[in-house]
Amino acid sequence: MKRINIKTDLYSVPTTILLLAIVGVGIGVVVSLLAIAFYEAFNWLNKEFLIDPHERIQLVNRPLLLSLATVGVPAVGGLLVGFIIYYFVSARRPLGPSDTILLVQTRGTPQPFGSSIASTFAAVLSLGCGASVGHYGPLVYLGTLVGSLVSALKLKIPNLQAICIASGVAAAISVAFNAPIAGMVFAHEVILRHFSVKAFAPTTVAAAIGFIFANVIFDRPPLFLVVFEGVQYSYEFILFAVIGILGALLAVGYAKGILLCQSYASRSGIPEVFRPMVAGLILGMVALQFPEVLGVGQESLRFATIGGAFELGELTILIVAKIFVTILCLGFGFAGGVFGPILLIGILCGALFGGILDQLQIFGHSGVVPYAICGMMAAATPVIGAPLAMILIVFELTRNYDLTTAAMVAVVFSNLLASRMFGRSLFDVQLASRGFDLSLGRVNALISYGSVTEIMRTEYPIFRTHDKIGKVAYQLAHIGRTAGVVVGPNERPVGVVHVRDCTGRPPTTSLKDVMNPETMRFSQNTNVGQALEAFRQSDYEVAPIVSAKTQKLLGIVYESDVISKYREIADRIRQEEHDPI
């Protein structure tokens, strides 16, 4: 079989390095500016719509206006978001990291530009009107949008689309967390799914540019500030492992809750365009009693690392309320991410764990800070499937080795359990429901995603049951094949003929006397992986592809075609992972 070679030496090495560096700088600058504009936009809306805690405090003497804004803003915002998603986003759902992963892995066609812009605007509006959704997911897709546009320049660099998108995502995460190393690792760990030498330079440059814009030029505040002198007792690492296990249970419940709520919403009979409004109305009613559930919850996240900032009962109620409204908002169609809310929920759960230790006073511990951080990382990591990036985020945010080590223990135990109970991440589970299952491995996921019709042959000789085997053998020899499909009077396949079955028989023998009654056929819904497995378990060399509805012949596929497709995908993956600059 001929080996598939992909040309990679279109430019000299110095030229390729220069082009990749320019790509990284350009994407980093654009994504950084857009990400900061994204932040400023929804923060401005929060202030104007009385979602921001500081604005709400100033209106405590006007309870009626505050109550109307609390209930009305999320409901009206939800109606507008539903309208935008339903009429302007072709997928009829918000776009996010799972779409980015699918685009990069399959080298598919990006979502229409108008849909991407509409989804991003819907996310700004969702966050601005106080929906309990995250901002990191929309930022990842914003990086995807910029990367896709740059890759359209056709610089003739192999795998350019994936490299550009990964660079955009790296810059977005770097801006979001002031964590350039974590941004670069996140792009490789979650988006590319391998550590590519060729992608390393542009993603690193883009992440560094994001950090410069966020931390130096615009001086954005960090996610949180902590003071931690170190882990005082060695036995606390056992407690960090316990938090990891509890965080895994929390993450699995959170992710499954979102999926179940989405399923319920689709079966509820509520029109798609009105679902976010319903969620916004319920959110507003909950927020009348617990206003902390509104929006991203940055203030609550920062207070969680301060011992005594919350009473234990208050923490418990806030955690339950935040989980409920987040699952509702995401399940009923608000545009936003899953990462931001689980960070808040996780850090509150960790703070609750530390507070319980304070109350019990059974043994000494190092305060609430390590437990809050461990809770945040343990809960968030299984949702996005990025343990290395999460550990680096802790280190880059805190610059504290002991705190990073504690978080690492929690992250390890959390991922071990959650991967068994649920999967690598919520994004992977969402993609598996769309037919792209990365748990099979990248190669198997790709061959199981593509339809067998992509390699179907539509020009081939048609054999009928009354044909003579002499004529059949001649035609097969003429096209260089040893097998063909036989059709009946209704143009539906009835069997398969192999040259070996004709050997030793008179040339005038009727085909119906030597053909094998057809026992294997594919439809347009059959994927390449299923076809490969079917051929492996049979001695057929060719199979018909029929319409799933009419069973009429659409084309044929040879075993060699399926094997060639598998080899092509395997060679592509190998090149992406090992091809030097």
Q: pLDDT tens for the chain, 581 residues: list them.
A: 333 344 444 667 788 888 888 999 999 999 999 999 999 999 999 999 999 888 888 888 888 999 999 999 999 999 999 999 999 999 999 999 999 999 999 998 999 999 999 999 999 999 999 999 999 999 999 999 999 999 988 788 888 999 999 999 999 999 999 899 999 999 999 999 988 888 899 999 999 999 998 888 887 877 777 878 888 889 999 999 999 999 999 999 999 999 999 999 999 999 999 999 999 999 999 999 999 999 888 778 777 777 777 888 888 999 999 999 999 999 999 999 999 999 999 999 999 999 898 888 888 888 888 999 999 999 999 999 999 999 999 999 888 899 999 999 999 999 999 999 998 899 999 999 988 999 888 998 999 888 899 999 888 888 888 888 888 888 888 888 888 888 887 778 888 888 887 887 888 888 888 888 766 889 888 999 999 999 888 888 888 898 888 888 888 898 899 999 999 999 988 888 877 76
Q: Strands 483-487 and 493-498: what pairing?
A: antiparallel
Q: CB neighbours (10 Å) of residue 72?
A: 16
Token digits for 83? 């309208």
CATH number of the 446-570 domain: 3.10.580.10
Which residues face 523 on adjacent strands?
546
Pairwise CA distance, residues 325 & 319, whole Å: 10
Q: CB neighbours (10 Å) of residue 579?
A: 14
Report helix, strand or coil for 448: helix
Pairwise CA distance, residues 571 & 552, whole Å: 34
236-441 shares the fold of 13-217: yes
Closest CA to 535 of 516, 501, 560: 560
Report helix, strand or coil for 484: strand
Pairwise CA distance, residues 476 & 484, whole Å: 7
Q: Where are the domains of the chain?
A: 13-217, 236-441, 446-570
Which letter, b or e, does each residue of 274-302 get, where b requires 16 or more Cβ atoms within 10 Å of its Cβ? bbbbbbbbbbbebbeeebbbbbbbbebbb
Closest CA to 542 of 565, 524, 516: 516
Q: Where are the beta strands (DSSP E) in 449-535?
A: 463-464, 483-487, 493-498, 516-517, 522-523
Any idea which architecture 13-217 has in CATH?
Orthogonal Bundle (1.10)
Q: CB neighbours (10 Å) of residue 225?
A: 10
Pairwise CA distance, residues 222 & 145, whole Å: 25
Pairwise CA distance, residues 120 & 81, whole Å: 11
Which residues face 495 on adjacent strands?
486, 517
The phi and psi torsions of 414 (rounded to 5 degrees) equal -65, -45
Which residues face 527 on adjacent strands?
451
Superfamily of domain 236-441: Clc chloride channel (1.10.3080.10)
Torsion angle, alpha carbons of 111, 116, 118, 124, to 10: 150
Pairwise CA distance, residues 284 & 294, whole Å: 8
CA angle, corner 123, sides to 121 and 127, nearest 5?
A: 120
pTM of the model: 0.90
Token digits for 99? 């779409």
Q: Strands 516-517 and 493-498: what pairing?
A: antiparallel
Pairwise CA distance, residues 425 & 414, whole Å: 12
Place of tokens 């339809």: 451
Place of tokens 């604005």: 55
Q: How far is CA 112 from the centre of its chain?
A: 18
Q: CB neighbours (10 Å) of residue 546?
A: 20
The phi and psi torsions of 557 (rounded to 5 degrees) equal -140, 135
Token digits for 426? 């919520």
